[in-house]
Structure 1
Amino acid sequence: MKLKVGAPALLVSLALTTLTGCSMTDDNNSGDLPDAGTSTTAHASDAAEKVSSEIYDLIGVKGKATEPGPGVTGCSGKDPEKYFQVFHAWTFTPASPDALDGVMERLKADLPKNGWKVVDFGRDTSKNKNVTLTADNDAKKHSVKITHWATENPPQLNMMVVSGCYQVPDGEKVR
């Protein structure tokens, strides 16, 4: 599995800070990005894909997801050769345009039953007033922001799954 940081890294970094900056429980209570433990980038990317797959299953609607793999970015203020964060952005398009009716409210109810804490739910400030949901899973050290693009043709769900800050094992570097 080859991972890389591309041009969208700056935007992703902003999204990651927004999602995990203060939401996930942080053991040191400093408001910093939560510690996700020690891992290689490959194992951490696999974990992010698994989290995305679990969320896909919770959507409970037939459709298709885009298939970009996870990416890796640094943790703000930490050595980029030793510390990293994983992000997995993807979009879900339902088989039927009206299939997403009520899905955000259902996710708001179902995510907590599966270890997630909904930390934000409501309309965004865009012209379309999209419904957004942000949730944290402290056990998995991941956050997700789901946006329902109801006015798109066809309507879609946009996902951004992000991890806490990992440290590579001794002798390893972020790849």
Structure 2
Amino acid sequence: MALAVPLALTTLTGCSMTDNDSAEIPLAGTSTSRDASDAMKKVSSGLYDLIGAKGKASDSHPGVMDCSGKNTKTHFRIFHPWSFYPSAPSDLDQVMERLRTELPKHGWKIVGYGPDTSRNKNMSLTADNEQKKVSVSIVHMSKNDPPKLSLDVVSGCYKTPGGEEVERF
């Protein structure tokens, strides 16, 4: 898991979340780390609801990371890696198809879909939400024991309110 998060965060730089098709991380607004973390939990909860299958989510919490090229005391991003373990592993194919069709109906733009470059050729979906300034990478890990969906949700770059500094957790 420790290796998967940096990889996902490297690829989730807001690919399509800017108007000029650059790799620039979009600004997500002004917020405290705690409030931004709470907003990320709501985004992850909405994704869980879209999964639409019985199962269990891992017990993970959002964290704070730096915004590349920005002042580390006043700018930050939120990341939230978590996994979904279905009650019936055979449901994962249907879940991935459901997410591919439902995410765009809920403000997400699919920017990548297909097998990843791993040895297992896991099905992968990447989507951006322009309004929320959030990206998600979802990987269908069917050959894991147990099979699961691995989700990495990451925000755009926040700026702390005047006079406050980034709280790290």
TM-score, structure 1 as length reference:
0.89
Pair 1:120-2:112 in alignment: yes
Q: Is the 8 A contact 1:83 1:166 kept in 2?
A: yes
Q: Higher mean Cα deviation, 157-166 or 97-106?
A: 97-106
Cα gap change, 1:11 to 1:84, in 2 (>3 Å):
farther
Residue number among 75, 82, 94 corresponding to 2:67 in the alignment: 75
Cα deviation, residue 13, structure 1: 4.7
2:12 partner SS = helix
Report how far residue 23 of structure 1 moved.
Answer: 2.3
- Could you tell me which residue of structure 2 aligns to residue 15 of structure 1? 8
8 Å contact kept, 2:12–2:136: yes
Deviation track 1:7-60 (CA, whole Å, cap 9, x = no partner) reads x8886455323112432125x765311000000000000011100000000000
CA distance in 1, matches of 2:27, 2:10: 14
Q: Which moved more, 1:17-26 or 1:155-164?
A: 17-26
Report the alpha carbon displacement of residue 67 of structure 1 after superposing the two structures with TM.
1.2
TM superposition score normalised by structure 2: 0.92
Q: Which residue of 1 aligns with 2:94?
A: 102
Is 1:25 paired with 2:30? no
Identity of aligned residues (%): 60
Give the total of aligned pairs.
167
Displacement after TM superposition at 1:98 (Å): 1.2
Spell out the pairing of 1:11-160 with structure 2 (5 A cutoff).
Answer: 12-26=5-19, 31-160=23-152
Judged with a 3 Å threshold, the aligned counterparts in structure 2 of structure 1 residues 9 and 36 are, in CA distance, closer, same or farther, namely farther
Over aligned residue pairs, what C-alpha RMSD do you find? Answer: 1.8
Say if 2:64 and 2:78, in contact at 8 Å, map to a contact too: yes
Stretches (4+) displaced over 6 A: 8-11
Q: Where does structure 1 lack aligned partners over 5 or more consecutive residues?
A: 1-7
Q: Which secondary structure does the structure 1 equivalent of 2:158 belong to?
A: strand
Unmatched runs of 5 consecutive residues or more in structure 2? none
> Counterpart of 1:122 in 2: which secondary structure?
strand
Whole-Å Cα distance in 1 between the matches of residues 135 and 3 of structure 2? 18
AA in 2 matched with 1:73: M
In 1, Cα distance between equivalents of 2:149 and 2:53: 11
